Amino acid sequence: MALPWLQRVELALFAAAFLCGAVAAAALTRTQGSFSGRCPLYGVATLNGSSLALSRPSAPSLCYFVAGASGLLALYCLLLLLFWIYSSCIEDSHRGAIGLRIALAISAIAVFLVLVSACILRFGTSCSEAQKIPWTPPGTALQFYSNLHNAETSSWVNLVLWCVVLVFQVVQWKSEATPYRPLERGDPEWSSETDALVGSRLSHS
């Protein structure tokens, strides 16, 4: 059974959200690795001669939160894509009301997590000039600003994608929640249908 067009657009958004989440998680993990596991977000660097050193890093859990949230949401998008591809090819692809409500709740949580992650990256990244200065020990902070900037950009794009996904799911939920009401005698549609039937019967008599 083919997927409804709204759900197909939703899956395309999930594919883009998977890429953005994976890029953000990988870029931040790479940056933290270049600082030997220390988190540079909101950290303090000191100048020792002609080189910089991260004297007061942030708690590692801060970087773990941003990378973990981005990575888990990317994994969720990937699993959802694989599930619906399998479901549309093998069995019934209809999503029930309960499944749609669960998807709405997850999307709302995802919007919140991505927004927090993007804000952390936005205000916790140092200036670009620090990337041009040698760091101590040598090899530390390799392309750290570029990696953090890529993670931030991916997070903001990811936020837009999740907001659009949430809007699409709300539209689907409202369309499915609209109850079906049969035609009654007072409805204009009832009169037009009755006139058409009566006219066709008179023409045949």
The gap between the terminal CA atoms of the chain, to the nearest Å, is 44
Alpha carbons 116 and 156: distance in angstroms, whole number: 10
Whether pLDDT at 103 is above 70 = yes
Closest Cα partner for 41 from 21, 29, 59, 24?
59
| Residue range 82-88: mean pLDDT, rounded | 80
Closest Cα partner for 121 from 70, 45, 47?
70
Average pLDDT across the chain, whole number: 82
| Residue range 75-79: mean pLDDT, rounded | 95
Residue 188 or residue 97, greater confidence: 97
* Contact yes or no for 131/144 (Cβ under 8 A): yes
Q: What is the reported pLDDT for 184?
A: 52
Q: Residue 139: left (phi > 0), alpha (psi -120 to 50), or beta?
A: left
Whether pLDDT at 8 is above 90 = no
Q: What is the reported pLDDT for 193?
A: 47
Q: What is the DSSP letter of 94?
A: -
- List pLDDT tens digits, range 18-64: 999 999 999 999 988 888 888 889 888 888 878 888 888 889 999 99
Q: What is the reported pLDDT for 151?
A: 94
Q: Strand locations in 49-113, DSSP E? A: 51-58
Position 78 confidence tier, pLDDT thresholds 50, 70, 90: very high
What residues pair up with 44 in beta bridges, in sequence order?
56
Q: What is the reported pLDDT for 43?
A: 86
Position 92 confidence tier, pLDDT thresholds 50, 70, 90: low
Q: How far is CA 49 from the centre of its chain?
A: 44
